[in-house]
Amino acid sequence: MRNLAERCFINPMQQTSRQQTWFITGSSRGFGRALAVAALAAGDRVAATARRPEQLADLVAKYGDAVVPLQLDVTDPAAARAALAQAASRLGRLDVIVNNAGYANVAPIETGDDADFRAQFETNFWGVYHVSKAAIPLLRAQGGGLVMQFSSVGGRVGGSPGIASYQAAKFAIDGFSRVLRAETAPFGVRVVVVEPSGFRTDWAGASMTVHDIPAEYASTVGALNARVRQSDSGAAGDPARAAEILVALARRRDIPEHLPLGVNAAEGSIALDRRLLAADLAWRDVSRSADFAEPYPVEFPPDSAG
């Protein structure tokens, strides 16, 4: 069987052969579990966190001391600091910090429960904030590392009816990570935002609560809810493949700032980038005219008919 680098077509000259140490949130299932398994299979060591660390017992049984199971509720900043400190103490250093924990519930903005909207944001954004902030002094002291932030194609393209809290948090992760990248680059810290499309995890299954969808939202929120559950075989993306790609990526010196994963993520991101570029170019003279030194007024682009 080919090794991980060969399967992912990574140039050995562009990667490190040193064993990596990982800190992964939300390791009990989904992407977090797949990534922990891929890292361990590649010979790395993993601090795997979960709200219920007993769910990690099978990993410990198979990989022994290579796994450090830790309890972590990412919404608790003190718990994030404690878990990272314990992981660093056990593993010596932390090469890759993965903010993966997150979930989405479905409801229209108009009728959704405010407390549920806020609770999702507490995990999906503030969890990333707490873990990232707690990791900075550790990464700075050791001379660098990689922070891998799980966003979504929805955090790049957006506009999916019914999951406003989830997508708002993912957009916030992108903005937060851009600042994190700029502030910590002098310390040797790198940041990549991972943007998956649909993958065969339980994101749209047991992890998701669907609240009442009024008839007025059947064609928007209802349609999206049906679409994410439309196939008995599940989503197109393979979490095991994605995890192997990310393990190989973590060994590279040259990495992207954003990595769409999956066909829909890749093509949707490119299509959005093209639309934004076309609009920016069409409105460039109008945009520039807001400055004192620029010609004003200027002609707007042609308006649509009707």
Q: Do the domain assignments include residue 169?
A: yes
Question: Cα(260)–Cα(76) distance, rounded to whole angstroms?
Answer: 29
> Which structural domain range is residue 90 located in?
17-261
Q: What are the per-10-residue average pLDDT scores of the chain (306 residues)?
A: 44 60 94 95 97 94 97 97 98 96 92 96 97 98 97 89 94 97 98 87 64 90 74 72 96 96 93 98 98 98 86
In a domain, 107, yes or no: yes
The model carries a pTM of 0.89
Number of domains in the chain: 1
Whether residue 47 is contained in a domain is answered as: yes
Active site residue 151: yes
Taking CA atoms, 233 is separated from 201, 224, 230, 256, in Å, by 11, 17, 9, 31
Q: Which of 28, 103, 170, 269 is catalytic?
A: 170
Domain assignment present for residue 154? The answer is yes
Query: Active site includes 103?
Result: no
Both tokens of 119, joined, read 């609770």
Query: Is 170 among the residues known to form the active site?
Result: yes
Predicted pLDDT of residue 245: 95
Indicate which CATH number applies to the domain containing 69.
3.40.50.720
Which single residue is written with the structure tokens 């000259």?
13
**pLDDT at site 15:** 54
pLDDT at 235: 66
Residue 282: inside a domain, yes or no? no
pLDDT recorded at residue 211: 80
Does 251 fall in a domain?
Answer: yes
**Residue 76, in any domain of the structure:** yes
Which residue out of 151, 160, 165, 269 is catalytically annotated?
Answer: 151
Would residue 269 count as lying in a domain? Answer: no
The active-site residue out of 166, 197, 217, 269 is: 166
